[in-house]
Amino acid sequence: MNWLLSVALALACASCMAPTSGPEAESRPNIIVMLTDDQGWQDTSEPFAAERTPLNERYRTPEIERLADEGMKFTNAYSNAVCTPTRVELMTGLNQARTRVSNWTHFRGEPTDRPHPDLVIPKWNMNGLQPLRGIPLSVHAQTLPQQLQSAGYRTIHIGKGHFGTRDTPGEDPSAFGFDVRIGGRFSGAPGSYYGTDNFASDGDPAATPWRAWDMEKYFGQEIYLTEALTIEAVAAVRQAVADGKPFFLYFAHFAPHTPIQPDPRFVQRYLDAGLPKGEAAYASMIEGVDKSLGDIMDLLEDLGIDQGTAVFFTSDNGGLSLPSRRAGVPHTHNAPLNSGKGSTYEGGLRVPLVVKWPGVTAPGSVKSTPVTIEDFFPTILEIAGVEFGGQNGALNNHEGVVELGSELDGRSFVPLLRGEAGEPDRPLFWHFPHKWGGLRGPGPTGPGIGATSAVRRGDWKLVYWHIDGRKELFNLAEDIGEKHNLANDQPQVTADLSSLLGGFLREVDAVMPTRVATGELVPYPDEI
């Protein structure tokens, strides 16, 4: 089981093992994770492909460039196809196939799947991550902020939560070990980005469940949500430093997720460049989160703590490449990647990632070794010097309660940060037995139809379609756009990756859809 990190003490809790105070806690590095929402791999002026692309020319993100100049850029970094699975993986170090939190979450007990014409979507853990065992259809697990809190960190949550459903304990990020909570709740988007709308117009009842929490002091003001959250993040960091506490800042921007609303600070630049209104608005939202990153980096320098702070910047899934109802055009395209958010093609999974850990990451360095969002959990714990005693949570599935066991799916990539080679052939897995989009999904290869599992090992990637058992094999080194299916040309590689993927899904007891026509479960990919 070389993809699993076994830990020795299955039932020990990290809080039993980690120091809670004293000089050791005070010398720990501060850690910042800035996570943007739906920002595609190419939605930045910092190039992540082998060559600069037209999208790199469109967007303006000088602060991501600055972070890359000062830190390490990852050109093969991954999240998941949609929001909640990424956020739960980051918080737990567990793969979405294991937790069964494999689609985005919303209201308690209500699946967000769109009906699939040919598949019955399986019972997944649609209530998301929960701080208790007793919530049906959820995963309860040790979280990253709980571990860091126990080790003496001030844990700060700014922005979007989206861990658990409305009217469950998991709708409140505070329940997962955050000392400070600003903004986050169950919702996957804000009702509005404008303070003048109170961040969700009272005249629009459909929007009010989406209103960000804790932002009342900005109601009625001419301020954009990205900016208001940054002000709050700066204040929380200043307070932690004043209190002499190392801090973990999880800053999950809502932007550039829908609703696509222009950030007035930046939009004119893109209109002047000739972009249509929707795309100009999207570009302004990207520049807004970039400005936020710069404000945080400036703060670290002003406080004299930049050398003692590790900064991660990434996105939670690929760019939204379907036309939105409001704007009518796709906001981004992810080219040269295929597809976008909601897909297990590269356009749905691949994200920008830059890490600056002063004294460890070489300035301006680039890593091509694949890493994924579930790796953040063990990586950050290693940076913090926290020993993890093992997951001791449980799944509360349709069938009953199942103990999680001691394994993590994530692997620390601290060796990569140190400049070592890592494990380029370590397999990465995605499992998405859902139909996410579909309102305007562009046919059988777009995110609209959904329901796939995928594995990447080295340069090879296999996509397994639940609808008909079809297998697609791509060589990403030669075909990053996944245009040339080599499954028939490379039967041994196809069989090997099918076996690898099937073995993993079987190991974690992944749920599969049922085919409407036959009433039979979709087999694992090595069973056909």
Residues that bind Ca ion (CB under 5 A): 37-38, 83, 316-317
Block residue for tokens 């356009």: 347
| Least Cβ distance, residue 295 to Ca ion (angstroms) | 22
* Pairwise CA distance, residues 352 & 217, whole Å: 33
Beta carbon nearer to Ca ion, 37 or 263:
37
Q: Which CB, 316 or 472, lies closer to Ca ion? A: 316
- In whole angstroms, the minimum distance from the beta carbon of 390 to Ca ion comes to 29
Collapsing DSSP states into helix, strand and coil, what is residue 465?
strand
What's the closest the beta carbon of residue 341 comes to Ca ion, in angstroms? Answer: 7
Of the pair 103, 284, the CB lying nearest Ca ion is at 103
- Pairing between strand 309-315 and 247-252? unpaired
Query: How far apart (Å, rounded) are the C-alpha atoms in residues 195 and 209?
Result: 16
323, 41 contact by CB (below 8 A)? no
In this complex, which beta carbon is closest to Ca ion, that of residue 147 or of residue 315?
315
d(CA 240, CA 245): 5
What spatial distance separates the first Cα and last Cα of the chain, rounded to whole Å? 22
Q: Which is nearer to Ca ion, 38 or 279 (CB)?
A: 38
Residue 25, Cβ neighbours under 10 Å: how many?
Answer: 18
Q: Is 66 exposed, middle or buried (0-12, 13-18, 19+ CB in 10 A)?
A: middle
Report the residue number, 165 or 392, with the smaller CB distance to Ca ion.
165
**d(C-alpha 525, C-alpha 465), whole Å:** 9
* Least distance in angstroms from the C-beta of 317 to Ca ion: 5
Closer residue to Ca ion (CB): 83 or 371? 83
Closest CA to 426 of 405, 455, 383: 455
Cβ-based nearer residue to Ca ion, 38 or 407: 38
Least Å distance, CB 55 to Ca ion, is 18
- CB of 257: closest distance to Ca ion in angstroms? 6
Alpha-carbon distance of 230 to 291, in angstroms, equals: 9
Q: What share of the chain is helix, strand, coil (3-state, %, to 5)?
A: 30, 20, 55
Closer residue to Ca ion in complex, CB, 142/372: 372
316 or 482: CB nearest Ca ion:
316
Q: How far is the CB of 316 from Ca ion (least distance, A)?
A: 4
AA identity, residue 247: F
Q: Map tokens 């567990």 to a residue.
A: 94
CB of 82 to Ca ion, least distance (A): 6
Closer of 81 and 384 to Ca ion (Cβ):
81
Q: Which of 70, 27, 24, 22 has its CA nearest to residue 46?
A: 70
By DSSP bridging, strand 350-356 and strand 309-315 are antiparallel
Contact of 61 with 287, CB cutoff 8 Å: yes
Q: How far is the CB of 39 from Ca ion (least distance, A)?
A: 9
What's the min distance (Å) between Cβ of 479 and Ca ion?
26
Give the Cα separation of 6 and 407 in Å (integer). 5
DSSP 20-54: -SSHHHHTSPEEEEEEESS--TTSSSS--SSS--H
Query: For the residues of 110-130, what is the DSSP string, one character each?
Result: ---PPPPSSEEPP---TTBEE
Shortest reach from residue 88's CB to Ca ion, in Å? 13
Determine the residue type at 296: I
Query: 84 or 143: whose CB is closer to Ca ion?
Result: 84
Nearest approach, Cβ of residue 498 and Ca ion (Å): 29
Residue 3 CB, nearest distance to Ca ion (Å)?
25
- State which residue, 212 or 497, has the beta carbon closest to Ca ion: 212
Residues 6+ apart with CB under 8 A from 114: 435, 436, 437, 438, 439, 450
Peptide bond into 415 cis (omega under 30): no
Closest residue to Ca ion, judged by C-beta, is: 83
